[in-house]
């Protein structure tokens, strides 16, 4: 284990269930009397290092406010970042959830002076993209254990991203319904690009099989989260996201604005109903941020973490 000048401890742990492989983690201890652990859950693309600035800013903001500093923890799943590959090979969503539970149990035994799961209200998830789906599935597998969720541009778990775009070869398709300045050939190209990059069947470096995700979480608004936890839902900036799609994948901005952003915003609206209305906040648009909100504006994310802690009375 190493410690850097910002008081973040970097280390590795071998889970009892997978003793031949290391999980890499970063841990910033909170105040000695704190009984709260905030866990940052990655998406598929960015590793746990993407949370470093958010973690530092959260520490600074809680210190400045004179609030109790929670313990802050991030990690790379098997096959991500600095962690080893899963010794069992490819893993699915529930494997990732069970690994997370084992990791939290074993790491908290080493790092915390309290039993993380002995009482409700001690665990908070801050998550991006597919990490939001992992957080929801964790809450289903281990009900009542999580008191707060900060969802950052959650994956649309049940949505086939290819089918967001109209199929120009389907019966009844009307070319006249396309936004001005776009063509059928562009639409075909977009569908093909999304199929190659984002379809659930496409392998990823992590080895995370996503093909069961739409079955596990077929709705944005259910299953409800047991215990009525606090929720904050944050979505990407529509313009920034569309611009990034155009730059990275050649998707005309107007197509993203027509066919993707409204669907994603509606998904976030429904996500906000997973708890009681007085426990829900959002969806909020992260101004100037694309899909990776913690990378684009870590100060904003830290602000939202602090607001969530305040709403929880912590």
Arithmetic mean of pLDDT, 296-306: 98
> Which among 265, 252, 264 is positioned nearest to 179, based on CA atoms?
252
Give the CA distances from residue 215 to residues 27, 138, 212, 222, 276, in Å, rounded to whole numbers and listed in that order.
33, 15, 5, 12, 24
Residue with tokens 């009900």: 143
pLDDT of 309 above 50: yes
pLDDT of 5 above 50: no
Going by pLDDT thresholds of 50, 70 and 90, the confidence category of residue 32 is confident
Quote the tokens at residue 185: 């050939």
> CA–CA separation, 133 vs 125, rounded Å?
11
Arithmetic mean of pLDDT, 93-119: 92
Bond into 142 cis (ω within 30):
no
Going by pLDDT thresholds of 50, 70 and 90, the confidence category of residue 3 is very low
> Which among 186, 193, 289, 299 is positioned nearest to 238, based on CA atoms?
289
Highest mean pLDDT among 134-138, 175-179, 245-249: 134-138
125, burial (CB in 10 Å: exposed 0-12, middle 13-18, buried 19+): buried
pLDDT of 4 above 90: no
Angle between helices 52-65 and 298-311 (to 10 degrees): 50
Angle between helices 261-271 and 238-249 (to 10 degrees): 130
Strand order through the sheet with 280-286: 2-3, 9-13, 23-28, 71-75, 37-41, 123-128, 148-152, 230-236, 280-286
Asked whether 78 and 21 are in contact (CB, 8 A), the reply is yes
Phi (first) and psi of residue 73, to 5 degrees: -135, 135
> CA–CA separation, 200 vs 226, rounded Å?
28
Spell out the domains of the chain, with CATH numbers in brackets: 2-158+208-311 (3.40.50.1820), 161-199 (no CATH)
Q: Computed from CA positions of residues 263, 177, 162, 243, in that sequence, does the dihedral angle turn out positive or negative?
A: negative
DSSP state of 224: P
pLDDT, tens digit, for every residue of 260-286?
Answer: 999 999 999 999 999 999 999 999 999
Helix residue ranges per DSSP H, 272-297: 293-296
Q: Computed from CA positions of residues 9, 69, 312, 235, in that sequence, does the dihedral angle turn out positive or negative?
A: negative
> CA–CA separation, 158 vs 135, rounded Å?
15
The overall average pLDDT reported for the chain is: 94
Asked whether 148 and 124 are in contact (CB, 8 A), the reply is yes
> CA–CA separation, 132 vs 106, rounded Å?
22
Going by pLDDT thresholds of 50, 70 and 90, the confidence category of residue 76 is very high
> CA–CA separation, 170 vs 163, rounded Å?
11
Arithmetic mean of pLDDT, 205-231: 96
pLDDT, tens digit, for every residue of 110-134?
Answer: 898 888 887 777 999 999 999 999 9
> CA–CA separation, 206 vs 81, rounded Å?
9
Helix residue ranges per DSSP H, 49-155: 52-65, 93-111, 130-141
């Amino acid at each position: 284990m190493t410690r850097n000048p910002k008081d973040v401890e970097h280390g590795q742990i071998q889970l009892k269930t997978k003793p031949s492989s290391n999980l890499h983690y970063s841990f910033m201890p909170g105040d000695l009397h704190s009984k709260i652990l905030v866990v940052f859950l990655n998406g598929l693309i960015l590793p746990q290092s993407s949370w470093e600035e958010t973690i530092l800013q959260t520490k600074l903001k809680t210190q400045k406010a004179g609030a109790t500093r929670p313990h802050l923890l991030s990690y790379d799943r098997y096959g991500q970042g600095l962690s080893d590959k899963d010794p069992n090979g490819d893993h699915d969503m529930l494997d990732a959830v069970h690994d997370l539970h084992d990791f939290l149990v074993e790491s908290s035994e080493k790092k915390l002076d309290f039993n993380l799961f002995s009482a409700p209200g001690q665990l908070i998830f801050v998550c991006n993209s597919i990490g939001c789906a992992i957080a929801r599935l964790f809450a289903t597998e281990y009900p009542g254990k999580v008191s707060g969720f900060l969802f950052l541009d959650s994956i649309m778990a049940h949505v086939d991203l290819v089918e967001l775009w109209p199929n120009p070869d389907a019966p009844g398709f009307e070319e006249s319904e396309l936004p001005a300045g776009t063509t059928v050939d562009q639409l075909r190209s977009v569908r093909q690009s999304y199929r190659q990059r984002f379809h659930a069947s496409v392998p990823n470096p992590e080895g995370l099989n996503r093909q069961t995700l739409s079955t596990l979480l077929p709705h944005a608004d259910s299953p409800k989260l047991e215990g009525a936890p606090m929720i904050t839902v944050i979505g990407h900036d529509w313009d920034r996201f569309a611009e990034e799609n155009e730059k990275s994948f050649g998707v005309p901005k107007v197509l993203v604005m027509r066919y993707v952003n409204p669907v994603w915003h509606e998904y976030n609206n429904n996500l906000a109903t997973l708890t009681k209305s007085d426990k829900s906040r959002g969806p909020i648009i992260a101004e100037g941020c694309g899909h990776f909100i913690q990378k684009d504006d870590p100060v904003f994310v830290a602000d939202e973490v602090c607001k969530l802690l305040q709403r929880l009375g912590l």
